[in-house]
Amino acid sequence: MYRYQILIEYDGTKFIGWQIQKKGKTIQGLIQRKFSRILKEKIILTAAGRTDTGVHAHEQSAHFDCKKRINQLGKFLKSMNYFLNKDGIAILKIKKKINSFHARFSAKLRIYQYNIINRLSAPVLEKNRAWHIIKKLDLELMKKGAKKLIGTKDFSTFKASSCKAKSPIRTMKLVKIKSTKNIIKIEFRSQSFLQQQVRSMVGCLKYLGEKKWTLKKFESVLKLKKRALCAPPAPPEGLYLKRVIY
């Protein structure tokens, strides 16, 4: 068997997420069908992370095995993109890997980015690409809150009820907030994340930025480890899987 890694860019707007489900259009399902047809064998994709409904990716990472060696990777890439581009998916790169490589378990760091458009007018060009918030956010207060999220902690407050992770303990390497011309970008770096963790953290940072919460309240919500205390999660359209580092 030959193992290959692919890097994928996609617009998650019209999909119900990465993972194949009984009903609905998924990114994994669409790519697997196209790959299986081209390679003339059943192909199973394993991704670095399962993005939810409406979530996008700048560079999702996945691997697959096939019986025959792909001799012309450039030609294969071009053929796949011919079929996938119209659905908002692009295969950026394909690489031959050793069989011990695993898109999920070999990952050392996952980088997510959340985009907020903070202005009165609703976005047109960035529709379904960011969270539109009208009320002016206090960036300095949000940055102070972001610092409280860094480190090894119990993130139960931000864990979805449907999350199957064995432990809520995660190590946040970085939470960084940048703002340029009413566009706020929040970057999160960790080896792994709980289901809905990023969107839940953004929701709480938004409450802080709107001054619905004080910094003391934000800290309290984190420390009490109760999901019921969490602010409503940010919508999926602002979230991007930016990169996976091995």
11 part of the active site: no
CA–CA separation, 63 vs 97, rounded Å?
9
Query: Which helix or strand (DSSP H or E) is residue 209 part of?
Result: helix 197-209
Tokens encoding 164? 């199957």
- Alpha-helical segments (H) within 122-177: 139-148
The residue annotated as part of the active site, out of 52, 65, 138, 154, is 52
Query: How long, in residues, is the chain?
Result: 246
Q: Which long-range contacts (CB under 8 A, 24 or more apart) does 76-85 make?
A: 76/38, 79/38, 80/31, 80/34, 80/35, 80/38, 83/34, 84/30, 84/31, 84/34
The distance of Cα 69 from the centroid of its chain, to the nearest Å, equals: 31
Nearest partner of 213 among 154, 122, 151, 148, judged by Cα: 148
CA–CA separation, 131 vs 122, rounded Å?
10
Phi-psi region of 196 (alpha: psi -120 to 50; beta: other; left: phi over 0): left
Residues annotated as catalytic are 52
